[in-house]
Structure 1
Amino acid sequence: MRIFVTGGTGLIGSALQKYWREQHQLIILTRQPVTKFQQTAAITYVNQLQNVDFNAVDAVVNLAGEPIADKRWTDKQKHRICHSRWQLTEQLSECIQAAETPPACMISGSAVGYYGRQGTEFITEEHSAFYPEFSHDICARWENLARRAGSDKTRVCLLRTGIVLSEQGGALAKMLPAFRFGLGGPIGSGQQYMSWIHIDDIVKLIDFLLHSPTLHGPFNAVAPKPVTNKEFSQALADRLNRPAKLTMPAFMVRLLFGEMADLLLYGQRVIPQQALDAGFKFQYPKLPAALADLDL
């Protein structure tokens, strides 16, 4: 297949490149100078959508976006987070709509933040009692813009991704220094749920969706066994043979992170019901095995 990937040099995109480079021809959209990358017969890099012929692309994987938790949520940063997702996704949908022979599939990023903060209830893709906050606002419009690419020629799959576990970066990389020094532990009450997924499983889920022509709509890209923040902290500490006794109080989290603290203090107990119903098999359904596989 000929696959166009945005965000192809990010955490998930880089893993996808490695998984697909022997199977497909990839076109990677990057904001970096294309001269920085080695162009090959299997992988080419472009800086603009205008350099892509959407009539000659079999599928689009849209993963681009400013990292949501890298910086404090100033008004400027919130604008950057939103528009790095919305603007490109809208342009992609327009390009697909304008093509005479459009891609058969667009797999577009979203996040479990779509549901907003939730309690202990199991959340599937059918859940509609959203909590109205910034994370939901980002994802709701992001998904709506992606759905515009849909037609009788193009199906759209939406990836509502949780915390991606990888030694290469992401949220886990930010947690590791404190835990390695024995300074890790629960955040706030520790009872908030964390919905996570191993990097290998999200790559294989994207591949599964690519090769399943009847599938469309939202998919929770999380492992089947979400855990509380306290359970996650203990499992990570056990993996590193360190204690996890220090708790960061909620007021301290808010002092350090401002509004972004909501991502850490609240969570969702999300289940990948659609993927399970479609027959997808998770290699790492439980957290201890997922952490054990990573080079931490």
Structure 2
Amino acid sequence: MLYKKIILAGGNGYLGGVLANYYKDKAGQVIILSRKPKIAEGNISTIVWDGKTAGAWVDELEGADLLINLCGKNVNCRYTKANRGELFSSRLVPTRLLGNVVAGLRQPPALWINITSATIYRHAEDRPQDEDTGEIGYGMSIDICKQWEQTLFDTITPNTRKVALRMGIVLGRSGGAFPRLLNLVRVGMGGRQGDGRQYISWVHEQDAAKCTEWLLQSTAVDGVVNCTAPEAVTNSNFMQLLRDAYGVPFGFPTPVWLMEIGARIIGTETELVFKSRWVKPGKLINGGYQFIFSKAKHAVHDLLAIHI
């Protein structure tokens, strides 16, 4: 065992499951803080919290090697007034709470990673956005990210290093965007969305987990870190890769007007599809992080090996 204890706050979702599985053979304990109780599986246990108030869960953070905060309402929703409020509060309130708790611990976690979002950068079709030269965008989703990161860094935690991990679109076998896109390919709708020129900054689920351990071991790295593969691809090229790998010669494209209608029907926003996220993981590359999957083609083939 390399580590004593890994804490996953709000870790009962898809990415939390990926991280729990990654660390279960690397740590004595993996503890998930969740609103819903769950039976322990090996050394992975769940402790109930509400994300708003301190409780018995606070003691579990003592002596932890790593705290990863994954709290936040899913952005795959309509931006109604009620949803807007919850999108903000479900991120800011737990982050502020964790900051206050960590600041008061005798043996706080060595590293605190807040999983934020690479969507904080502007719509970019001209050049990649890295941590040093990237330009922050505008709009509600960006405002969420800005306040989220500010809440993280405003708390003074002298004995805990902090990283805002700006995560790209996680491609995985059992969750995230990949199964949905694969279903479109299967039914012949796997063409480009809109003009298809918008970039997709993605990361394979194995790298999404592995880079958190790299950050734990890279003690000189803190602040903002982009978590995306080095090779972003356009929507059109990604859908082509997916069709080719799955053996489907053609996919009907989805025009903007049809996406608008579909988004309203299923209760989401077209921004999630049409915004061009061209993000470069400058700190990971410059720090020598070795990606398991740096090319989209290889990631797609790996994931399809399970789905086919």
TM > 0.5 between the two? Answer: yes
Output the CA distance in 2 between the equivalents of 1:282 and 1:251: 37
The answer to whether the aligner puts 1:78 opposite 2:106 as a matched pair is: no
The runs of 4+ residues in structure 1 deviating greater than 4 Å are none
Unaligned runs of 5+ in 2: none
Checking the alignment, whether the CA contact within 8 Å between 2:58 and 2:101 is kept in structure 1 is no
Structure 2 counterpart of 1:122, from 102, 123, 128: 128
Output the CA distance in 1 between the equivalents of 2:269 and 2:301: 29
Q: Which amino acid aligns with 1:265?
A: F
Q: Deviations over 1:151-190 (max 9, x none)?
A: 3311101111111111111111222222112221111110
Output the CA distance in 2 between the equivalents of 1:290 and 1:178: 18
Structure 1 pair 146/246, CA: closer, same or farther in 2 (3 Å)?
same
Output the CA distance in 2 between the equivalents of 1:243 and 1:78: 40
Q: Which residue of 1 aligns with 2:276?
A: 267
The answer to whether the aligner puts 1:67 opposite 2:70 as a matched pair is: no
Q: Which residue of 2 aligns with 1:292?
A: 301
1:1-296 aligned within 5 A: 1-24=4-27, 25-32=29-36, 34=37, 36-38=38-40, 40=42, 42-48=43-49, 49-50=54-55, 51-53=57-59, 54-69=61-76, 71-257=77-263, 260-294=269-303, 295-296=306-307
Q: Which amino acid aligns with 1:15?
A: V
For the residue of structure 2 that corresponds to 1:68, the secondary structure is coil
- Aligned residue-pair number: 292
Q: Which amino acid aligns with 2:48?
A: N
Output the CA distance in 2 between the equivalents of 1:264 and 1:39: 36
For the residue of structure 2 that corresponds to 1:210, the secondary structure is helix
For the residue of structure 1 that corresponds to 2:125, the secondary structure is coil
Output the CA distance in 2 between the equivalents of 1:257 and 1:183: 15
Q: Which amino acid aligns with 1:260?
A: E
Q: Which amino acid aligns with 1:280?
A: Y
Output the CA distance in 2 between the equivalents of 1:289 and 1:157: 28
Deviation at 1:227, TM superposition (A): 0.4
Q: When the two structures are superposed, what TM-score results if normalisation uses the length of structure 2?
A: 0.89
Output the CA distance in 2 between the equivalents of 1:202 and 1:93: 23
Q: Deviations over 1:101-121 (max 9, x none)?
A: 322210111111111322221
Output the CA distance in 2 between the equivalents of 1:31 and 1:145: 22
- Pairwise CA RMSD of aligned residues? 1.7
Output the CA distance in 2 between the equivalents of 1:244 and 1:206: 38
For the residue of structure 2 that corresponds to 1:168, the secondary structure is coil
Query: Percent same amino acid at aligned positions?
Result: 30
Output the CA distance in 2 between the equivalents of 1:251 and 1:182: 19
Checking the alignment, whether the CA contact within 8 Å between 2:185 and 2:251 is kept in structure 1 is no
Deviation at 1:12, TM superposition (A): 1.7
Checking the alignment, whether the CA contact within 8 Å between 2:189 and 2:254 is kept in structure 1 is no
Checking the alignment, whether the CA contact within 8 Å between 1:165 and 1:198 is kept in structure 2 is yes
Output the CA distance in 2 between the equivalents of 1:44 and 1:66: 22
Q: When the two structures are superposed, what TM-score results if normalisation uses the length of structure 1?
A: 0.93
Checking the alignment, whether the CA contact within 8 Å between 2:202 and 2:229 is kept in structure 1 is yes
Deviation at 1:39, TM superposition (A): 5.9
